[in-house]
Each structure stands twice: as structure tokens, then as C-alpha cells.
Amino acid sequence: MTMTNAVVLIEADRDALSTLGGELAGIEGVAEAYSVTGEWDFVAIVRVPHHEQLADVVTGAIVVLPGVARTQTLVAFEAYSRHDLEALFSIGE
């Protein structure tokens, strides 16, 4: 099964900074949630089996959380990782 993967950048209200990470991590479809530095406060990695479910997670669960000021969603077209590449090139070793 091909998963739909997305990175959701989240700006939070100051009052929500201490609690929002745990709330994000508890949402079905959010595989990982990170607090980060820079323009955004959190990054959520969303993985869902069907593209249509992405809207349910982002607009139906993340955006409506108290303390979420704004979001930007980046849908992944291809996935690359060092782990995957190392596994590919180590076949037969």
C-alpha cells in the first residue's frame, strides 16, 4: 500500500507551546510531532493510507486544536532516506 505523506508546519499561540506537541502526537495519522526553532513552532509528520484522509487529519484535527494559529501543509511526492538508499545498495553483500 502506498501511503500519503505530508509535513505540516504549525505556528502556535504562546499559551499552547507547552501542551500542543503532545496533543499533535495523539492525533491518528500523525506519525511524529516535533517542536522546532525558527518561524514555525511545531512540525507534524502525517502518514495516511489514502490521500483523501489527509484533509481529515489536517483540517479536521490539527487546525481545530486550541492554540494552532496557522499551518502550512507540504505533501510529499517521493520519499528518500539514507536508510532506504543504504539498504538498496547493500543487496547481495
Q: Are 62 and 8 in contact (CB under 8 A)?
A: yes
The Cα 25–Cα 22 span in angstroms is 5
What CATH number has the domain bearing residue 18?
3.30.70.920
The Cα 32–Cα 22 span in angstroms is 10
**Tens of pLDDT, residues 42-74:** 999 999 999 999 999 999 999 999 999 999 999
State the residue range of the domain holding 74.
4-89
Q: What is the pTM of this model?
A: 0.85
Percent of the chain with pLDDT over 90: 78
Q: How many independent structural domains does the chain possess? A: 1
Q: What is the average per-residue pLDDT within 64-91?
A: 80
